[in-house]
Amino acid sequence: MSTPISSSSSSADNRPLFIVNPAAGRGKTGRTWPQMKATIEAKLGPIDVSFTNAPGHGITLARDAAEAGRPLVVAVGGDGTFHEIVNGVAEGPASTGTKRATDVGILAQGTGGDFRRTLGLEHRLDRYLDALAGGRSRPLDLGKATFLDRNGKPTTRWFVNVLSAGMGGLVDQYVQESGRALGNAAAYWFASLRALMTIEAGRLRCTVTGADGTETVHEIASYMVAICNGRYFGSGMHVAPMADPADGLFELVALPAGSKVGFTVRSQRIYDGSHIGQAETLHLRGRKFHLELIDDRAKGTFLLDVDGEPLGRLPLTIEVVPNALHVRA
């Protein structure tokens, strides 16, 4: 199926705007969108629709919608699509005493849906529409991340779920390089095997600013460090069961380096959250984190990712911006 560039536009900027990634779910979203749209409009009334046609396009569409004063922008796609819509809306006008910032909605496609799990949204179209129609808006925290992009240029991005350093970023890079012709599951399986063979454990210096402003410094040796606003990543891995996206704090979770076989065994516990509480698991909490490599041995493989998308490399600074996003859920 060819990817459409855009669809209906309207001067009625008070209508909800649905930003659709037609490639989500291996193209199923694009194929089934006409039927979905009919169901949506039967519940919500007339809507406007725009289709993404390239990586990053969702950011532009959402930013334009926020600047136009749209009351609601809904992401129709996977976690990557939601990440782009969050970034676009975050770049738009902020709430003031007389004007409310644009709300964000979720209509998750595919099998990921990690942030909607944190929000307790059941993966059913009628449940998503109930949340959108109910008008209940939840103020949630955003993360502001500053890092080096893949060309070494300082860059800032927003995120709402989980940003990780190490194994996840390398897997995402390998998936991007090799493509997904065999499907998502196979692509990630082969990329994970390749990453496990090539990754070097990162020796990191981590500076944490706690809720009271106190700074502490930690040295970490790990194949993976996750900084979490949400509770899930990697299509349902329960990485931070204690995370609350509205408490003004992030959770840092890291598994120790050790052998790669040991890391593989320990990482299986993330699926049910049983890694938390294990003596070897590091858990830190704070409102700001700074991560940098102590040596350059792992520089080429200790990469960053956010919501399943490759991001860049260390050093990384993340700070919480409380109540910066309003989500219909």
Tens place of pLDDT per residue across the chain (329 aa): 333 333 444 445 789 999 999 999 889 999 999 999 999 999 999 999 999 999 999 999 999 999 999 999 999 999 889 999 999 999 987 654 445 689 999 999 976 789 999 999 999 999 999 999 987 899 999 999 999 998 999 999 999 999 999 988 888 888 878 776 666 677 778 888 888 888 889 999 999 999 999 999 999 999 999 999 999 988 888 999 999 999 999 999 999 888 888 888 888 899 899 999 888 899 999 999 999 999 888 988 899 999 778 899 999 999 999 999 999 98
Question: By the 8 A CB rule, do 275 and 283 touch?
Answer: no
| CATH fold label, 17-135 | Rossmann fold (3.40.50)
Buried b (16+ CB within 10 A) or exposed e, 61-70: bbbebbeeeb
In the chain, ranges of CATH 2.60.200.40 domains: 143-328
Confidence (pLDDT) at 100: 63
Question: By the 8 A CB rule, do 276 and 283 touch?
Answer: yes
CA dist 70 → 11, 36, 166, 225 (Å): 11, 21, 37, 36
List the Cα angle 53/165/223 in 5-degree steps. 135
Task: Tell me the pTM.
Answer: 0.89
Which CATH number fits the domain 143-328, given the four candidates 3.10.350.10, 3.40.50.1820, 2.60.200.40, 2.40.70.10? 2.60.200.40
Confidence (pLDDT) at 65: 95
Confidence (pLDDT) at 99: 53
In the chain, ranges of CATH 3.40.50.10330 domains: 17-135
Confidence (pLDDT) at 68: 93
List the Cα angle 279/281/285 in 5-degree steps. 115
Question: By the 8 A CB rule, do 141 and 324 touch?
Answer: yes
Structure tokens at 194: 């390749």
Task: Name, in order, each residue with C-beta under 8 angstroms of 64's C-beta and a sequence gap of 6 or more.
Answer: 88
Question: By the 8 A CB rule, do 101 and 93 touch?
Answer: yes
The radius of gyration computed from the CA coordinates of the chain, to the nearest angstrom, equals 20
Phi/psi class of residue 235: alpha, beta or left (left: φ > 0; alpha: ψ in -120 to 50)?
A: left
Confidence (pLDDT) at 277: 85
